[in-house]
Amino acid sequence: MTETAAPVASLAAEAAALDGADPLAAKRAEFDLDPEVAYFDGNSLGAPPKNVAERVTEVIRQQWGRRLIRSWEETWWAAPQRIGERIAPLVGAAAGQVVVADSTSVDVFKLLVAAVRANPGRDEILVDAGTFPTDGYLADQVARLTGHTVRRVPVARMPGEANERTAAVLANHVDYVSGQLHDMPSVTEAVHAAGALAVWDLCHSVGAIPVRLDACAADFAVGCTYKFLNGGPGSPAFVYVAQRHQAEFDQPLAGWAGHADPFGMEPGYRANPGIERARTGTPDILSMLALDAALDVWDGLDLAVLRAKGLALGDFFFRCLDELIPDADVVTPRNHARGHQVSVRDPGGRKTMDALYARGVLGDFRPPDVLRFGLAPLYTTFGEVLRAVTVLREVR
């Protein structure tokens, strides 16, 4: 037996045992996955649940093809609120606080403007220094439009940096590069103590870890649905507005869909009194109803079980790296203050990821040198984790 064959054999036996005991193993069969591919990019684009294609076909042929314009009143117009209620338990929100509408970028803009409008007399916005670029771009534009300044600080330092000038903070729950999980309860509490409002970006946590917006007393949140929620490419984002803020929620994109009487065609804007006021324009029905179908895989799911498997997948990924690539430069925290991804620095960067692609292991690359491997507990297996690390060792 070769020098590396022994640890691989031992890890393979461990992976088989873990997969055999996986309480979520049956969920994998609900996804349309290529058996030749080990997919580790669910943190960018989730895999499609099998029922989505059939549901979308029904929407096109029946709801659109036969019911035509009647479907707006029968099912389509209320879809953003109805689907928002399906997402609410995944983010720890009581009813009436989540609506699906627009893109993540549009929703970040709406929420951040609303947050600073709700907190007058303060001229500063704190932004996560390591944020996904679009959040930073949008914060800069909000500042230009509202007369605020933007200050970038790491999320962990926000509790000490928020002060009497701070109107709002925009923070990522999970860092998109490293996968580090930030402490939402303590950050939100400290931000509130400074008199500021908290806007959370949940794009890399919803569908991966339990989120408890109500319990944390979060003010606003936005999340995408095409990553761990598997809603499909370009599926619409969702907005959370805490009940206590809804009556004064003054968002800048006051479109007809957020009007109190959208079909009344009034010349002036009157905001809907509830979460619907976070809507702006006509919803993208095909994408929205594809998302609705994709959410079926979450029905009855215990998020604690999901979290336990996600952490176990990450722990096993680290073990495989330690055994097979002991010099790997791991960016992701090894403790459990992390989301469901493992990030590794690699000098080969894009070339290394291209080589992984050629061998059927699909992760992704973030400049300048980070390889990301998303771990979607609903369909990622421990055997695939071993395959990813084994192939990485061979191509780097």
Task: Name the catalytic one among 31, 40, 132, 176.
Answer: 132
Any domain includes 260: yes
| 372: annotated active-site residue | yes
In this structure, which amino acid lies at residue 194? A
pLDDT tens digits for 117-168?
999 999 999 999 999 999 999 999 999 999 999 999 999 999 999 999 999 9
pLDDT tens digits for 70-92?
999 999 999 999 999 999 999 99
Which of 298, 316, 334 lies at the terminal end of a domain, its last residue?
298
Contact 296, 290 (CB under 8 A): no
Task: Name the catalytic one among 86, 110, 227, 387.
Answer: 227
Q: Are residues 292 and 319 in the same domain?
A: no
Task: Name the catalytic one among 226, 228, 316, 317.
Answer: 226
Q: Are residues 233 and 89 in the same domain?
A: yes
Task: Name the catalytic one among 110, 277, 338, 372.
Answer: 372
Q: Are residues 374 and 244 in the same domain?
A: no
Full domain range(s) for residue 267: 77-298
Q: Are residues 349 and 312 in the same domain?
A: yes
Q: Are residues 389 and 259 in the same domain?
A: no
Query: Encoding tokens for residue 114?
Result: 């609303």
Q: What is the mean pLDDT of the chain?
A: 97
| 346: annotated active-site residue | no
Q: Are residues 127 and 15 in the same domain?
A: no
d(CA 301, CA 207) in angstroms, rounded, equals: 11
pLDDT tens digits for 90-117?
999 999 999 999 999 999 999 999 999 9
Average pLDDT, stretch 276-286?
97
Average pLDDT, stretch 307-321?
98
Query: Encoding tokens for residue 220?
Result: 């606003």
Any domain includes 91: yes
Q: How many CB atoms lie within 10 A of CB 169?
A: 30
Contact 257, 279 (CB under 8 A): yes
Q: Are residues 352 and 386 in the same domain?
A: yes
Any domain includes 206: yes
**220 pairs with which residues across the strands?**
199, 241
- How many domains does one find in the chain? 2
% of the chain residues with pLDDT over 70: 99
| 132: annotated active-site residue | yes
Q: What is the CATH number of the domain that holds 380?
A: 3.90.1150.10
Q: Are residues 21 and 97 in the same domain?
A: no
| 226: annotated active-site residue | yes
% of the chain residues with pLDDT over 90: 98
pTM over 0.85: yes
Any domain includes 19: yes
Going by pLDDT thresholds of 50, 70 and 90, the confidence category of residue 1 is very low
User: How many CA atoms lie within 13 Å of 2's alpha carbon, on the beta-carbon side?
Assistant: 4
Sequence-separated (6 or more) residues with CB below 8 Å from residue 281: 102, 255, 256, 257
Which of 264, 298, 332 lies at the terminal end of a domain, its last residue?
298
Any domain includes 72: no
Q: How many CB atoms lie within 10 A of CB 220?
A: 26
pLDDT tens digits for 196-230?
999 999 999 999 999 999 999 999 999 999 999 99
| 122: annotated active-site residue | no
